């Protein structure tokens, strides 16, 4: 029922389900029903980084030297990622905070969503550094048909959940007349179904949809092009791996019945729908790969290889939540990508990064051979 | 030459047609990679779950509980240590 920002009831939050129990009151982390969310918060905080830590002056020169079809691949991926993180920077908060019932999960949702806003800020940092007029890139996101098609798929479940939860929070359970929609039956079961499908669709967003862009960014960097961008994408990929862990835990906890016995039934009922969400997303990502490479491929990547990678990674993500893999692809067609996804390869210590305001004995990023002319060995 | 490994901490890992000897001193993934196997991984820190394999039989242990959800009968090769002879397979 009606959301309260500080629930005055006295209850044991360790007995609450993740969602649709009591509204959280005291933000306490000394005890947790599901310690994983506390661990995720700690890990995410330890990952904190800022896009300005990465110097992009070489990327601008690289970008100007790219073939037009490569510039199309690069910018299109940035637009798609901007869309995905625009959604992720707000939706976990808007959709999930009104229904969450555990303090550690509530704070994980906020921490998760906040880290997505850093990603959005890094796209601005990248775009501002490589093109003269960022508006041309940003404005296209809402009109480009290939992007808007995807906007519908990534926001549909969130929007449905937000609508139902707002009815639930204002009018309660029961049949309600909604202008323009007719009679809407708000039941706890239907709310839980929509929640489960939303979490599955968010898992797909973070665990599959991002990876086509990641692969392209790292493929450029394998050719020592756009390396500043790749450094940022590496940090984003590291965060996303944490986020997908969060949604995998939510889905697995729900399906196990350990959190809320009714959710286990809901997960069972929704199994085919979740499989459909994964398979449809994989198809959309393969279509996206074809759009990226419509004017030409890049060294080491083409639409076919990327499509196989989408299938491969979709299988992995499905198995992580106990679903049967749906694609025949058994091998990673781009195994080199994994070296870019290793957690501890990433370093963001300010004294080691190229932040001129921090470094004392600063190293110039634009050294060439002529600078060593005075050296005799 | 003296070995740094006690013999009882050496275990056989069967994976497909291949058998690899591993110690209890290091997780499975780097040891299997050194034997020439190419296995899937991403974070190598136990939170992304991409390195999950099927544990057909045998015992493994995790000195630190991995952050990833480990499905029943699966093993995370980046952070699991062999505790006995084991057989693993791709998922």
**Between A242, A248, A343, which is nearest B69 by CB?**
A248
- A258–chain B Cβ distance below 8 A for any pair: no
Beta strands in chain A (DSSP E): 174-178, 182-186
- The chain-wide mean pLDDT, for chain A, equals 93
Q: Parallel, antiparallel, or unpaired for β B86-89 and B52-57?
A: antiparallel
What is the number of CB-based contacts under 8 A between chain A and chain B? Answer: 60
How many Å lie between the alpha carbon of B54 and the closest alpha carbon of chain A? 11
Tokens 């069972």, located at residue: A268
Residue B57 domain-assigned (yes or no)? yes
Adjacent-strand bridge partners of B81 = B61
Residue B2 domain-assigned (yes or no)? no
A314, A281 contact by CB (below 8 A): yes
Flag if A245 and B52 touch (Cβ within 8 Å): no
pLDDT digits (tens, 9 = 90+) for A254-268: 999 999 999 999 999
Residue of A nearest to B76 (CA): A320
pLDDT digits (tens, 9 = 90+) for B57-83: 999 999 999 999 999 999 999 999 999
How many Å lie between the alpha carbon of A322 and the closest alpha carbon of chain B? 7
For residue A42, pLDDT beyond 70: yes
Adjacent-strand bridge partners of A185 = A175
Q: Identify all chain B residues contacting A328, using CB atoms and an 8 Å cutoff.
A: none
A164, A194 contact by CB (below 8 A): yes
Flag if B71 and A316 touch (Cβ within 8 Å): no
Structure confidence at residue A344 (pLDDT): 78
Q: How far apart are CA A69 and CA A168, in angstroms?
A: 49
How many Å lie between the alpha carbon of A134 and the closest alpha carbon of chain B? 33
Q: What is the distance in angstroms between the CA of the first residue and the CA of the last residue of chain A? A: 77
Distances (CA, A) of A118 to A47, A122, A234: 12, 6, 13
Residue of A nearest to B90 (CA): A330
**Confidence category of residue A356, pLDDT binned at 50, 70, 90:** very low
Report domain extents, chain A. Answer: 35-341
- B22–chain A Cβ distance below 8 A for any pair: no
For residue A296, pLDDT beyond 90: yes
A280, A287 contact by CB (below 8 A): no
Domain count along chain B: 1
Residues written for chain B: 91
Flag if B45 and A343 touch (Cβ within 8 Å): yes
Flag if A241 and B48 touch (Cβ within 8 Å): yes
For residue A362, pLDDT beyond 90: no
**Between B43, B52, B90, which is nearest A241 by CB?**
B43
In CATH terms, the superfamily for domain A35-341 is Ribonucleotide Reductase, subunit A (1.10.620.20)
Structure confidence at residue A345 (pLDDT): 52
Residue of A nearest to B45 (CA): A343
Residue of B nearest to A39 (CA): B67
Residue B55 domain-assigned (yes or no)? yes
Q: Identify all chain B residues contacting A308, using CB atoms and an 8 Å cutoff.
A: none
pLDDT average, residue stretch A14-23:
97
Whole-number percent of chain A with pLDDT over 70? 94
- B57–chain A Cβ distance below 8 A for any pair: no
- A243–chain B Cβ distance below 8 A for any pair: no
Flag if A238 and B91 touch (Cβ within 8 Å): no
Q: Identify all chain A residues contacting B47, using CB atoms and an 8 Å cutoff.
A: 43, 241-242, 245, 343
**Confidence category of residue A364, pLDDT binned at 50, 70, 90:** low
CATH code, domain carrying B26: 3.10.20.30
Adjacent-strand bridge partners of A314 = none
Adjacent-strand bridge partners of B13 = B20, B86
Residue B43 domain-assigned (yes or no)? yes
A314, A282 contact by CB (below 8 A): yes
Residue B28 domain-assigned (yes or no)? yes
Structure confidence at residue A376 (pLDDT): 75
Tokens 């070296």, located at residue: A339
Q: How far apart are CA A117 and CA A92, in angstroms?
A: 12
| Cα pseudo-dihedral A298, A304, A306, A307, rounded to 10 | 160
Q: Parallel, antiparallel, or unpaired for β B52-57 and B18-22?
A: unpaired
> Which one from A123, A168, A291, A312 is the annotated catalytic residue?
A123
For residue A45, pLDDT beyond 60: yes
Flag if B68 and A245 touch (Cβ within 8 Å): yes
Residue B1 domain-assigned (yes or no)? no
Residue B60 domain-assigned (yes or no)? yes
Per the annotation, the verdict on A291 as an active-site residue is no
DSSP annotation string for A77-123: HHHHHHHHHHHHTTHIIIIIGGGB--HHHHHHHHHHHHHHHHHHHHH
Low-confidence ranges of chain B (pLDDT < 70): 1-8
A289, A310 contact by CB (below 8 A): yes
pTM score of the predicted model: 0.91
B26, B4 contact by CB (below 8 A): no
Q: Which residues span the domain enclosing B57?
A: 7-88
Q: How far apart are CA A77 and CA A145, in angstroms?
A: 14
DSSP annotation string for chain B: ---SS-GGG-EEEEETTEEEEE-SSS-HHHHHHHTT-----SSSSSSS-TTEEEEEES-EE-SS--SS---TTEEETTT-EESS-EEEE--
Q: Identify all chain A residues contacting B45, using CB atoms and an 8 Å cutoff.
A: 343-344
Classify burial at A126, counting beta carbons within 10 Å of its beta carbon; exposed 0-12, middle 13-18, buried 19 or more.
buried
Nearest to B91 by CA among B69, B75, B67: B75
């Amino acid at each position: 029922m009606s959301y309260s920002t500080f629930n005055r009831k006295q209850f044991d939050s360790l007995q609450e389900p993740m969602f649709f129990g009591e509204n959280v009151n005291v933000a306490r982390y000394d005890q947790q029903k599901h310690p994983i969310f506390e661990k995720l918060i700690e890990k995410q905080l330890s990952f904190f980084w800022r896009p300005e830590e990465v110097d992009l002056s070489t990327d601008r020169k690289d970008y100007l030297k790219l073939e037009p079809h490569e510039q199309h691949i690069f910018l299109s991926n940035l637009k798609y990622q901007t869309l995905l993180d625009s959604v992720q920077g707000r939706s976990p908060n808007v959709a999930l905070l009104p229904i969450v019932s555990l303090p550690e999960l509530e704070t994980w949702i906020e921490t998760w969503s906040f880290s997505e806003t850093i990603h959005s800020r890094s796209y601005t940092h990248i775009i501002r550094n490589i093109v003269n007029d960022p508006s041309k890139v940003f404005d296209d996101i809402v009109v480009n048909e290939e992007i808007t098609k995807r906007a519908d798929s990534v926001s549909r479940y969130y929007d449905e959940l937000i609508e139902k939860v707002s009815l639930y929070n204002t009018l309660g359970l029961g049949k309600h007349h909604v202008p323009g929609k007719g009679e809407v039956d708000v039941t706890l079961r239907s709310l839980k179904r929509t929640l489960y499908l939303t979490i599955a669709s968010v898992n797909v967003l973070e665990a599959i949809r991002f990876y086509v862009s990641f692969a392209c960014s790292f493929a450029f960097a394998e050719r020592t092009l756009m390396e500043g961008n790749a450094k940022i994408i590496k940090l984003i990929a590291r965060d996303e791996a944490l986020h997908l862990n969060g949604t995998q835990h939510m889905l697995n906890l729900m399906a196990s019945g350990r959190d809320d016995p009714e959710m286990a039934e809901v997960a069972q009922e929704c199994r085919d729908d979740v499989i459909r969400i994964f398979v449809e997303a994989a198809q959309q990502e393969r279509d996206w790969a074809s759009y990226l490479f419509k004017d030409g491929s890049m060294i080491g990547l083409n639409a076919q290889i990327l499509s196989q990678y989408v299938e491969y990674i979709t299988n992995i993500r499905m198995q992580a939540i106990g679903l049967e893999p749906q694609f025949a692809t058994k091998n990673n067609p781009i195994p080199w990508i994994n070296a870019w996804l290793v957690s501890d390869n990433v370093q963001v210590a300010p004294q080691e990064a190229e932040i001129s305001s921090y470094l004392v004995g600063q190293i110039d990023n634009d050294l060439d051979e002529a600078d060593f002319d005075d050296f005799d060995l | 030459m003296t070995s740094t490994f006690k013999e009882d901490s050496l275990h056989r890992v069967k994976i497909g047609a291949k058998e690899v000897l591993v110690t209890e001193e290091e997780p499975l993934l780097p040891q299997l990679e050194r034997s020439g196997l190419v296995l899937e991984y991403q974070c190598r820190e136990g939170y992304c779950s991409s390195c999950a394999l099927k544990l057909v039989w045998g015992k493994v242990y995790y000195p630190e509980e991995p952050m990833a959800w480990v499905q029943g009968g699966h093993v995370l090769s980046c952070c699991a240590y062999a505790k006995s002879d084991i057989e693993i397979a791709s998922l």
